[in-house]
Amino acid sequence: MEEQKDGLRPETDTEKCHCHYKTTPRDAAQLRQLQNRLKRMTGQLGGISRMLDENRYCGDILVQVAAVQSALQNFAYLVLQEHLETCVVEEIAKGNVQVVDEAVELIKKLK
């Protein structure tokens, strides 16, 4: 990796915020809720795979795909909310306002 004259690596976009490790752990209930949602989506994806194997009607498959997309979007919004309430708030409290730029970029990716 390229080094600057002072011997340090140049700062990359992912290193600017320094917020890539949570200092506030997820509580057990919240972690269980997120894991349960992921397991349901995994089950739905398996169901779609079985529908393909069974040569099911395209419209039925698309309905299930839409359901998984919606579930995944809602999952992402929960993680984003947690990120804003913990990581972003913590970093702003430390004086790191660059974390707002990172949060905006994450929100753009979720659209």
Q: What is the pTM of this model?
A: 0.75
Tokens of 61: 């498959």
What's the pLDDT score for residue 97?
Answer: 94
CA 30/CA 111 separation, integer angstroms = 24
Per DSSP, 88 falls in state I
Please give the pLDDT value at position 10.
Answer: 44
Query: What structural domains and CATH numbers belong to the chain?
Result: 26-109 (1.20.58.1000)
Listed residue (82, 83, 80, 101) closest to 11, CA to CA: 101
- pLDDT for 20 equals 67
